[in-house]
Structure 1
Amino acid sequence: MLRLDDLQVFVQTAESGSFSAAARVLDITPALASSAMKRLEQELGLRLFVRSTRSLRLSEEGERYLPHAQAALAAIDGGRQALAQASADIAGPIRLSAPSDLGRNVLLPWLDTFQQAHPKVSLHLRISDQTADFFRQPLDIGVRYGALADSSLVALPLAPANRRTLCASPAYLKRHGAPASPEDLRQHNCLRYVMGEQTHERWTFHLPRGVETVTVKGDRVSDDADVVRRWAVAGHGLVYKSRIDVSPDLYAGRLVELFPPGYGEPTPLQLVSAHRTLLTPAVQRLHEFLRTRCADILYRRK
């Protein structure tokens, strides 16, 4: 097996013209340099240098092998630099907006973990279900669901396979039973929320027979998605939300999924910015961190 230090001796000897000169550069003895060359030649089964009492020069095989040895050392050095850069501490502010439910119940503990790993990063978090205006508000990035209406924004995927899921608490299901189809939702109390000026009361499902949309009704509606989720956990009705939002409740048994995961409306989650210049190393590291966490929570086994 080739040794890295033997390759270093070979390359340095070729560049310096002698074992003694190479040994000085590498801070080893000439005897060690000579032994390294003998070991490498024995491993390769060829002579890399033509030696005489007064000179040392590369053999024909050594000439051919040198660029490969140099490339190998350069690749290893590049790998070290990449690892060092990846593990280097990041710093600076991150001004982030997030929806209420996702922000409070999912992102907050994740951001705590991220900041513990990168204590030089300062977080400025804006929690709201109102769509953030990146051109008027002091924001670097925002977490958003769904397709972007503004094509000028930069989007980095966090959970492209995320979908909505229909769920309810065990207490509600014990009292009222579970719907067997979207049409059955008309007989249930459906908890709705307002986005902007629009009430989210048309629930769309992707069934094997095709897409089906049902207009639902209920006795509770809020402009705060976290309030709607809390109502569902308390047993007041059915809720149709992003699976990432309710995953902690599903895994803890506070909510139960009622339809297969593939039936839910696609709701991709992404990190959005007004311009690529705002994607600082700290923001890019946060994107990688959040993308991994989203995958963990979506595909985790109960």
Structure 2
Amino acid sequence: MIRVDDLQLFVRTAQSGSLSAAARLLDVSPAVASAALKRLEQQLDVRLFARSTRSLRLTAEGELYLGHARQALQSLEDGRLQLAGSKAEISGPLQLAAPSDFGRNTLLPWLDEFQQAHPRLQLRLLLGDRLSDLFREPVDIALRYGAPEDSSLVALPVAPENRRVLCAAPAYLARHGEPQTLEALAEHNCLLYMLGGRLHEHWRFQDGRREQGLTVTGDRSSDDADVVRRWAVAGRGLVYKSWLDVAGDVQAGRLKVLLPHWRGEATPLNLICAHRAQLSRPLHLLRAFVQVRCAELLARAPWPA
């Protein structure tokens, strides 16, 4: 019988491209991780990864099995959440801060679904890209991209595999053409985001072991990430956004991912709080719920495995 922890190790290894990185994420030793992968391959009677001293990549059989493994793990998590939700009713206020774009366009319908499952819960949602002062402001937790600068804060992973993607609206591409190389971005209008007065004009990409960064320019910038996304959907230029922010637009055809063979900058989504004592049952349930929904979007991510 295939073990759940072996499936988890396989999926994490495929996502990170490294067996040692997957072992760290799952808090097991490299020897235990290697044994788990070998055990799974023996049970399936296939090689899931092609290994060398410097690289690890999925075989054709591994690519095929990865989707089934993800679906199996997601189904188990969905069942666990349903059981957890049925054991005890949660109630009372839950105060949450979230990024403007992710909050409005991705998280909002998820929260509707979560509150329908827990009707006695009272949600208070604060949207904005500035990191809330969790010691002073009336916020229980915050969902934020990247690790917090304040090392005293507690950060729990929600979507650690999330990355940025380069995309544009079909209308913009029809007028200006589709860039075929990163160097061609110099010929395009790039929509820029500001945070804390700092303009994020340096975009970084990775192709295997090679990393390339470039400084881009454009005629529009905003400190509201949702505004930048809306400009892109309206065909005003190219945008470099978190996949979780634009996955819905890509799936609906409002945006198209460009140069998908280049992996964008890692943009992990974390749940942040001031103290572990704040991690109440409602917060644990919400985190697990959002993790499952993020995993569904990341399963359709465009970058190479």
Q: TM-score, normalised by structure 2?
A: 0.69
Once residues 84 and 184 of structure 2 are traced to their aligned partners in structure 1, the CA distance between those partners, rounded to angstroms, is 57
Stretch deviating more after TM superposition (292-301 or 128-137): 292-301
How big is the shift at 1:267? 0.4
Larger radius of gyration: 1
> Equivalent residue for 1:23?
none
> Equivalent residue for 2:168?
168
Unpaired runs of 5+ residues, structure 1, are 1-81
Q: Answer yes or no: is the 8 Å Cα contact 2:147–2:155 preserved in 1.
A: no
1:257-276 map, 5 Å: 257-260=257-260, 263-276=263-276
> Equivalent residue for 2:145?
145
Question: Are the structure 2 counterparts of residues 92 and 218 from structure 1 closer, same or farther at C-alpha, using a change threshold of 3 Å?
Answer: same
> Equivalent residue for 2:32?
none
How big is the shift at 1:164? 0.1
Identity of aligned residues (%): 57
> Equivalent residue for 1:183?
183
How big is the shift at 1:99? 0.6
How big is the shift at 1:88? 1.8
Stretch deviating more after TM superposition (212-221 or 84-93): 84-93
> Equivalent residue for 1:117?
117
1:29-68 map, 5 Å: none
SS at match of 1:122: strand
Q: TM-score, normalised by structure 1?
A: 0.70
Spell out structure 1 runs of 4+ moving beyond 2 A: 82-87
* One-letter identity of the residue aligned with 1:266: A
Question: Are the structure 2 counterparts of residues 263 and 301 from structure 1 closer, same or farther at C-alpha, using a change threshold of 3 Å?
Answer: closer
Unpaired runs of 5+ residues, structure 2, are 1-81
The total of aligned residue pairs comes to 221
Once residues 241 and 166 of structure 1 are traced to their aligned partners in structure 2, the CA distance between those partners, rounded to angstroms, is 7
* One-letter identity of the residue aligned with 2:265: E
Q: Answer yes or no: is the 8 Å Cα contact 2:100–2:128 preserved in 1.
A: yes
How big is the shift at 1:84? 7.0
SS at match of 1:180: coil
SS at match of 2:157: strand
After superposition, the C-alpha distances for 1:15-71 in whole angstroms (9 at most, x for unaligned) are xxxxxxxxxxxxxxxxxxxxxxxxxxxxxxxxxxxxxxxxxxxxxxxxxxxxxxxxx
* One-letter identity of the residue aligned with 1:223: D
Once residues 220 and 267 of structure 2 are traced to their aligned partners in structure 1, the CA distance between those partners, rounded to angstroms, is 23
Q: Answer yes or no: is the 8 Å Cα contact 1:163–1:261 preserved in 2.
A: no
